[in-house]
Amino acid sequence: MSKGDPLLEVTDLVKHFPIKSGVIIDREVARVRAVDGVSLTLHEGETLGLVGESGCGKSTLCRAILQLTQPSSGSVKFLGEELVGRSHRDLRPLRRQMQMIFQDPFASLNPRKRVGQIIGDPLQLHGLSSGAELKRRVQELLDRVGLSPEHYNRYPHEFSGGQRQRIGIARALALHPKFIVADEPVSALDVSVQAQIINLLKELQDEFGLSYLFVAHDLGVVRHVSDRVAVMYLGKVVENSDTEDLFRKPIHPYTNALLSAVPIPDPKRNAARERLVLQGDVPSPIDPPPGCSFHTRCPWATEVCTTDEPALLEHAAAHVAACHHPRNVEHAAV
Amino acid sequence: MTEAILKVDDLKVSFATEDGVVQAVGGVSFELRAGEVLAIVGESGSGKSVTAQTITGLTRASNARITGSVTYRDRELNGLEDDQLRDVRGEQIAMVFQDPMSSLNPVYRVGDQITEMIRAHRDVSKHEAADRAVELLRSVGIPNPERRVRHYPHEFSGGMRQRVMIAMALALEPDVLIADEPTTALDVTVQAQILRLLDDLNRERDLAIILITHDLGVVAEIADRVLVMYAGQIVENATLDETFYDPQHPYTWGLLGSLMRLDQTRGARLAQIPGQPPSLLAPPQGCRFAPRCSHRFDKCDEPPPLEARVGGDHLDRCWLDPEEKKTRRAQVIS
């Protein structure tokens, strides 16, 4: 479901962190394959959900896309311009268009700055506004995210978690970005507050035509906000599809297992459904299993899965998955 | 109906702080029956953890004031001397916490920690205790327990650590296990494993469980009875099915309505609860939920008692007429 032209094109993005050891000369002894060849496309006005368990590389991918960490290789094209390899100075005008909302509303706001400064600084740094105009602009933003303009002179500690997340959202909105990366924006919040923030993010998207890359481990949240969803496992995208298709007909066994593991808050339906409980834990990204990296936990794994890495193939319309034994498809390709 | 093994009656816990007296638990009464899984649900600061910790005497501190009664098989626990309480804690009522890493001592081997605990309560040789530790680890599904007892906590994954904590809690064969957010720090696939383990223990050993959680999905998965807490009070006490299919308190409706579920049509705006929970330094005089409730009327200035309004043992704390509630509820949850 495309709502326009591609805004962001990520191709074969890789981020490896070397593990060094040695007394005088550091020698690379291993590498953490945090992001290991990821390709994604995000259209204007669209929300792409990114799910996966802790350590699968979701957050590193976000940082690599925004050039907050230098990718090891691959390409990130934003508004048709290549971001990888650009200098900080060159990136600056583009940074205005790409903002981020962080998970922890406590750690992501400077405790020694007033709310007015936190939200106003980006405007000042980019020379967009100053003086009385700046204050008016910040107060408008506060009002827009559901805070009161009188909060201008308060400090972050005077706010609750949900309110702080609103401050973070106002800061991200200040520069009128086109693209916002929201890295687990609601996972630190209580359910009733989560709903408030999700509703706000959706309103803002409609109002400003924003595109979101929305990272979460909570599948319910991702399903609610996303147009498309990409599922990550050990640094790779294993499935990518339209949201409805992904949740109705998950192809990759890992996606099936994830969906099956989420408890449904309805006792009768919960008892009625068949469950697929995975054994074991996620392997280490330092030494991922050969072949398909999911084969160690996959109930359908065979010989071929231990040797050949499956390619991302289109199994249904606009629905790709990397698996030798896809589920929910009529003609299983082997 | 089986007998109640644990009774909590009008439990009040308050803490003196620099800002004033925080009434964390404001008059909580409930019963736990043998072999029952009782879930306590609520948002941060609702008093669910303080209630649970007070049962085992973990909130005793010089600034704490605890009144009311906690009886385990007709034995009063509140006011018991510390060394007498120790006979109950672990022996009859054991606890598992949210963060398994900070509940285990990082500098001792896992097996030694279990052995030490057994020997503190039972007159057995080191050798016997060590054998028992291996047995316990096996019983909670840890592979290679003979080898794993010699490992340190950091060598275990989050899910495995939580299994170790559960093994340790079971060491003295208690009849009550209090699990405080046992799966909150875990990924969904691992959460499913731990919930299955708790469910097995409940069935096979007839272990009564008090499960504290904020996740209604987890509740739907294993609870028999549900207490919903808000601002230090129980607002609803009902069976699992009553909670989900016939909830009486508007706060329970709000919680159910703000869930982002996998089994419902998406895209619609979420029913959010406006505002945030009250400060427990000065909770509202009347109904504590009234300031956020869209159904409040004159009577809500008086505090509603927790009583059966729809018959049976389904208790709630709301003045609205039950028939009136049915029509209003339909607007929030389907």
- And the tokens for B100? 């398994």
CB contact under 8 A, B260 and A266: no
Asked if residue A76 has pLDDT above 70, the reply is yes
The whole-angstrom distance between A222's CA and the closest CA on chain B is 9
The pLDDT tens digits of the residues spanning B190-224 come to 899 999 999 999 999 999 999 999 899 999 999 99
Partners of residue B254 in chain A, C-beta under 8 Å: 192
> What is the pLDDT, as a whole number, of residue A333?
46
Q: Could you tell me which of B231, B243, B193 has the C-alpha nearest to residue B39?
A: B243
> What is the pLDDT, as a whole number, of residue A2?
44
User: Cα A182 from chain centroid?
Assistant: 6
Instruction: Determine contact: A195 vs chain B, CB below 8 A.
Output: yes
Biggest distance spanned by C-alpha atoms of chain B? 68
- And the tokens for A263? 């408890």
The pLDDT tens digits of the residues spanning A146-175 come to 999 889 999 999 888 889 999 999 999 999
Query: Which residues, other chains included, contact A143 with Cβ-Cβ below 8 Å and sequence gap of 6+?
Result: A149
The pLDDT tens digits of the residues spanning B9-27 come to 999 999 998 889 999 999 9
CB contact under 8 A, B260 and A259: no
> What is the pLDDT, as a whole number, of residue B334?
65
Query: Which residues, other chains included, contact A16 with Cβ-Cβ below 8 Å and sequence gap of 6+?
Result: A31, A32, A33, A34, A36, A72
The pLDDT tens digits of the residues spanning B24-53 come to 999 999 999 999 999 999 988 899 999 999
The pLDDT tens digits of the residues spanning B249-282 come to 999 999 998 888 777 776 667 778 888 888 889 8
The whole-angstrom distance between B159's CA and the closest CA on chain A is 8
Partners of residue B247 in chain A, C-beta under 8 Å: none
CB contact under 8 A, A278 and B256: no
Distances (CA, A) of B186 to A221, A236, A237, A257, B46: 17, 21, 21, 15, 22
On the CB side of A22, CA atoms within 13 Å amount to 10
How many of the other CB atoms lie within 10 Å of CB of B127? Answer: 9
Instruction: Determine contact: A272 vs chain B, CB below 8 A.
Output: no
| φ/ψ of residue B21, rounded to 5 | -90, 120
> What is the pLDDT, as a whole number, of residue A132?
92
CB contact under 8 A, B193 and A269: no
A175-186: b (≥16 Cβ within 10 Å) or e: bebbbbbbbbbb
Partners of residue B267 in chain A, C-beta under 8 Å: 224
Q: State how far the Cα of A60 lies from the Cα of A90, in Å rounded to an integer.
A: 22
Label residue A290 by pLDDT band (50, 70, 90).
very high
On the CB side of A21, CA atoms within 13 Å amount to 4
CB contact under 8 A, B188 and A53: yes
> Residue A240 class from Cβ within 10 Å (0-12 exposed, 13-18 middle, 19+ buried)?
buried
β-bridge mates for residue B41, sequence order: B213, B228
Q: State how far the Cα of B203 lies from the Cα of B187, in Å rounded to an integer.
A: 24
The pLDDT tens digits of the residues spanning B67-88 come to 999 999 989 999 889 888 988 8
**Residue corresponding to tokens 């606890």:** B95
CB contact under 8 A, B188 and A258: yes
**Average pLDDT of the residues in A207-219:** 92
> Residue A172 class from Cβ within 10 Å (0-12 exposed, 13-18 middle, 19+ buried)?
buried
Partners of residue B261 in chain A, C-beta under 8 Å: 220, 264-266
Of A220, A257, A261, the CB nearest to B260: A220
Q: Could you tell me which of B313, B268, B306 has the C-alpha nearest to residue B26?
A: B306
Asked if residue B1 has pLDDT above 60, the reply is no
Q: State how far the Cα of A135 lies from the Cα of B278, in Å rounded to an integer.
A: 30
> What is the pLDDT, as a whole number, of residue A1?
40
Q: Could you give the angle at the alpha carbon of B83 between the alpha carbons of B79 and B86, nearest 5°?
A: 90
- And the tokens for B330? 């339909």
Give A 146-175 residues with CB within 8 A of chain B. 160, 162-163
CB contact under 8 A, A224 and B215: no
Asked if residue B313 has pLDDT above 70, the reply is yes
Instruction: Determine contact: B216 vs chain A, CB below 8 A.
Output: yes
CB contact under 8 A, B263 and A281: no
Q: State how far the Cα of A132 lies from the Cα of B303, in Å rounded to an integer.
A: 47
Query: Which residues, other chains included, contact A304 with Cβ-Cβ below 8 Å and sequence gap of 6+?
Result: A291, A324, A334
**Residue corresponding to tokens 């032209």:** A5
Instruction: Determine contact: B107 vs chain A, CB below 8 A.
Output: no
pLDDT > 90 fraction of chain A, expressed in percent and rounded? 67
Mean pLDDT, all residues of chain B: 91
CB contact under 8 A, A191 and B43: yes
**Average pLDDT of the residues in A180-194:** 88
> What is the pLDDT, as a whole number, of residue B261?
79
**Average pLDDT of the residues in A235-247:** 94
Distances (CA, A) of A11 to A76, A240, A288, B216: 6, 14, 21, 39
Is the Cα dihedral A146, A148, A149, A155 positive or negative?
negative
> What is the pLDDT, as a whole number, of residue A332?
47
The whole-angstrom distance between B19's CA and the closest CA on chain A is 14
3-state secondary structure of A62: helix
- And the tokens for A175? 């520069």
How far apart are the two ends of chain A, measured CA to CA in Å?
28
Q: Complex ipTM, two decimals?
A: 0.81
Q: State how far the Cα of B263 lies from the Cα of B244, in Å rounded to an integer.
A: 14
The whole-angstrom distance between B129's CA and the closest CA on chain A is 27
CB contact under 8 A, B193 and A267: no
Partners of residue A192 in chain B, C-beta under 8 Å: 43, 254-255, 258, 272-273
Partners of residue B263 in chain A, C-beta under 8 Å: 264, 266, 269
Partners of residue B217 in chain A, C-beta under 8 Å: 262-265, 270
> What is the pLDDT, as a whole number, of residue A334?
42
